[in-house]
Amino acid sequence: MAENTLFPYPLPVDTPPMEAKSAARLPSEGKWQFEPKWDGFRCLVFKQGGTVDLRAKSGKPLGRYFPEIVAYFQDVDADAFVIDGELIIDVDGHLAFDALQMRLHPAESRIRKLSTETPSRFVMFDILIAPGGNSAIERPLSERRRLLEGFAKSLESSSQAELSPMSLDRKQAERWLSESGPNGTDGVVAKQLDGHYAPGERTMIKVKRLRTADCVVCGFRYESKSDNVGSLLLGLFDGEGKLHHVGFTSTIMDEERPALTKRLERLRGPPGFTGKAPGGPSRWSTERSGEWEPLKTELVVEVRFDHVTGQRFRHGTKLVRWRPDKRPDQCTFEQITP
């Protein structure tokens, strides 16, 4: 981790948030806290004095893209805290992930304009450092939730920040799951009630109505008898850091193919896959191949899938969205391992 320059205790601003493993159903044994899964950008809010730092799951700073959230927490009458949550944007009463992606723009004037037209909200669901600088990481979730609720009560009523609902009732979680969908929440997250906060570890369970995974785009194939991209080749990292081919997606809108092709062609080059690959690589440097073109591992895409066989998607997947907020090395087999 990078050297800590914000706090006098060992919690760097690139501390990764606790993550979740996908499951087909909600856990029924043990003590669990259930929460809606929000369809936004995961974010840790760090504050020390008048300094506020927003960090994405990848560790990259988000503050310049969400100035209204930074301004809100600068005005909060509390010092030295770290809150875990999700940045979301509502458009016409529905969560709009596309509106979040539009914020990742190089022009500050554009960002300022969007922050006024489509302001974001921060949904709080965990606390790592309580106000005053006291670490809560080793405390069980039940205690962290009480600390978080106390922090939320101390805040002035605002549309900029809110406390995520939770329940210990599995039936309520099932109702949340049945109500989730593309225009609402993204499913349900289950957290062990006596578990401590485990940065970077997949100790939570997430359940969606539709199973999805974030994959690295490691290569592509051209359409038959066409100069446009036909399908994207998907990869996931194993425990040794090798990137394996796990399937493909070809659900690309026809009107998007020309621009996407140009984008991919600019990224042609190694490494592509470093583990299992879909056949021999093409001679990417000088000649287009009829097989597949390896890419530099920079792009991440979320795909929807049905079944996994032999650590590969059994069928073609559906492209859900691009994930500029995630690092390629965060795309691991843990997402699809039962």
pLDDT in tens, 15-24: 999 999 989 8
Q: Range of 112's domain?
A: 19-207
Alpha-carbon distances of 160 from 86, 118, 202, rounded to whole Å: 12, 12, 28
Do 185 and 45 lie in one domain? The reply is yes
Residues 223, 285, single domain; the answer is yes
Q: Which amino acid is at 153?
A: K
Give the side-chain half-sphere CA count within 13 A for 129. Answer: 22
Whether the CB-CB separation of 155 and 123 falls below 8 Å is answered with: no
Q: Which of 37, 191, 206, 208 is catalytic?
A: 37
Q: What is the pLDDT of residue 285?
A: 36
Please give the Cα distance from 267 to 217 (Å, whole number): 10
Q: Are 75 and 153 in a shared domain?
A: yes
Q: Is residue 13 part of a domain?
A: no
Q: How many CA atoms lie within 13 A of 212 on its CB side?
A: 21
Question: What is the CATH number for 295?
Answer: 2.40.50.140
What is the distance between the alpha carbons of residues 312 and 295, in angstroms, rounded to a whole number? 20
Q: Are residues 223 and 315 in the same domain?
A: yes
What confidence category does residue 154 fall into, taking pLDDT thresholds of 50, 70 and 90?
very high
Residues 100 and 24 grouped into a single domain: yes
CA distances from 73 to 41, 67, 252 (A): 17, 10, 40
Query: By three-state DSSP, how is residue 16 classified?
Result: coil
Cα distances from 264 to residues 182, 274, 293, in angstroms, run 27, 19, 9
Q: Nearest 10 degrees: CA dihedral of 131, 140, 58, 155?
A: -30
Name residue 89's beta-bridge partners: 120
According to the model, what pLDDT value does residue 172 have? 97
- Count structural domains, the chain: 2
Check whether residue 152 and residue 226 sit in a common domain: no
The pLDDT value recorded for residue 153 is: 94
Q: Mapping DSSP to helix (H, G, I), strand (E, B) and coil, where does residue 41 land?
A: strand
> Which of 207, 229, 264 is the last residue before a domain boundary?
207
Query: What's the rounded Cα separation, in Å, for the pair 66 and 86?
Result: 12
Q: What is the pLDDT of residue 281?
A: 44
- 241 exposed, middle or buried (CB, 10 Å; 0-12, 13-18, 19+)? exposed
Tell me the angle at which helices 108-117 and 67-74 cross, rounded to the nearest 10 degrees: 70
256 three-class SS: helix
- What distance in Å separates the CA atoms of residue 218 and residue 108, rounded to the nearest whole number? 32
Give pLDDT, residue 182. Answer: 56
pLDDT of residue 157: 77
Phi, psi (deg, nearest 5) at residue 141: -55, -40
| Pairing, β 161-163 against β 120-130 | parallel
Nearest to 10 by CA among 147, 137, 148, 142: 137
Top-confidence residue, 18 or 336: 18
Residue 102 shares a structural domain with residue 34: yes
ω before 16 within 30° of 0 (cis)? Answer: no
Instruction: Report, as an integer, the average pLDDT of 40-65.
Output: 94
Give the domain-ending residue among 190, 207, 224. 207
Q: Is the pLDDT of residue 289 over 60?
A: no
Q: Give per-residue pLDDT as tens, 197-211.
A: 999 999 999 998 878
Within a domain: residue 186? Answer: yes
- Dist CA 215 CA 302 (whole Å): 6
Q: Do 134 and 256 belong to one domain?
A: no
- List all residues 6 or more positions away from 29 whose beta carbon is below 8 Å from its beta carbon: none
pLDDT value at residue 291? 84
Contact 97, 212 (CB under 8 A): no
Q: Where a domain ends, among 152, 182, 207?
A: 207
User: Catalytic residue at 113?
Assistant: no
**Would you say 248 and 222 are in contact if contact means Cβ atoms under 8 Å apart?**
no
Q: What is the pLDDT of residues 79-123, one digit of tens each?
A: 899 999 999 999 888 888 889 989 998 899 999 999 999 999 999
Both 233 and 152 in one domain: the answer is no
Domain contains 196: yes
